[in-house]
């Protein structure tokens, strides 16, 4: 049974061991754990995590979002692959006003998308956040986003000077 958190590979429909289903009761111990969307062998499925898990992306999102994490501290294990399709997908997640699953806020899809684009120093992140900000209805939400945009710009400017 999962004991490292219910959003682990051991309960994820992208893990071959679950044969397309979701939930620890569908885990088949006779099938080696393998992440179908990241093409990755998973040695410890109940202690491995990523933002594509159905708890974060309930609509079957199969484009990798950020890294894969391991252990109770959820340390980065495998970095995200980097393609233009993946970047476009992350930008879409950032812009999207739709509700994201925040059951496990430490790996929320939008936060992972922002962090990954920042790491790649993709300046399109700024306009994606600005688009999101324009859609915000509450002053509080809008102010918080403006602060995030300011920090992102600062971070990207710092990097361009080095």
Q: Give the binding range for ligand SF4 (CB under 6 A) out of 9-17, 82-90, 94-102, 121-129.
A: 9-17
The only residue of 6, 26, 37, 124 in contact with ligand SF4, by rule CB under 6 A: 37
Tell whether residue 15 is a contact of ligand SF4 (CB under 6 A): yes
Q: Give the binding range for ligand SF4 (CB under 6 A) out of 49-57, 88-96, 107-115, 121-129.
A: 49-57
Taking the least distance from each CB to ligand SF4, the nearer of 42 and 125 is: 42
What residues have CB less than 8 Å from 58, skipping those under 6 apart?
A: 101
DSSP string, 62-131: -S--S-EEETTTTEEEEPPP--HHHHHHHHHHHH--S----SSGGG-HHHHHHHHHHHTT-THHHHHHHH
Q: Give the binding range for ligand SF4 (CB under 6 A) out of 6-14, 20-28, 87-95, 123-131.
A: 6-14
Tell whether residue 112 is a contact of ligand SF4 (CB under 6 A): no
Residues in binding contact with ligand SF4, number by CB under 6 A: 13
Phi, psi of 48 (to 5 degrees): -130, 140
CA distance 100 to 79: 22
Handedness of CA 154, 97, 103, 69 (dihedral sign): negative
Tell whether residue 53 is a contact of ligand SF4 (CB under 6 A): yes
CA distance 59 to 92: 15
CA distance 82 to 10: 25
Tell whether residue 70 is a contact of ligand SF4 (CB under 6 A): no
Taking the least distance from each CB to ligand SF4, the nearer of 32 and 151 is: 32
Q: Which residues bind ligand SF4 (CB under 6 A)?
A: 9, 12, 14-15, 35, 37-38, 48-50, 52-53, 68
């Amino acid at each position: 049974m999962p004991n490292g958190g219910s959003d682990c590979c051991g309960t994820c429909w992208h893990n071959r061991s679950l044969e397309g289903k979701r939930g620890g009761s569908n885990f088949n111990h006779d099938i080696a754990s393998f992440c179908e969307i990241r093409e990755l062998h998973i040695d410890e499925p109940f202690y491995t995590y990523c933002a594509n898990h159905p708890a974060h992306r309930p609509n079957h999102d199969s484009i990798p979002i950020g890294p894969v994490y391991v252990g109770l501290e959820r340390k980065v294990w495998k970095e995200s692959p980097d393609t233009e399709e993946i970047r476009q997908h992350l930008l879409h997640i950032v812009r999207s006003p739709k509700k994201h699953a925040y059951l496990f806020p430490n790996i929320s899809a939008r936060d992972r998308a922002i962090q990954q684009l920042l790491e790649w120093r993709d300046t399109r992140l700024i306009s994606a956040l600005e688009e999101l900000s324009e859609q915000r209805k509450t002053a509080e939400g809008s102010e918080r986003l403006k602060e995030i945009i300011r920090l992102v710009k600062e971070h990207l400017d710092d990097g361009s000077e080095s």
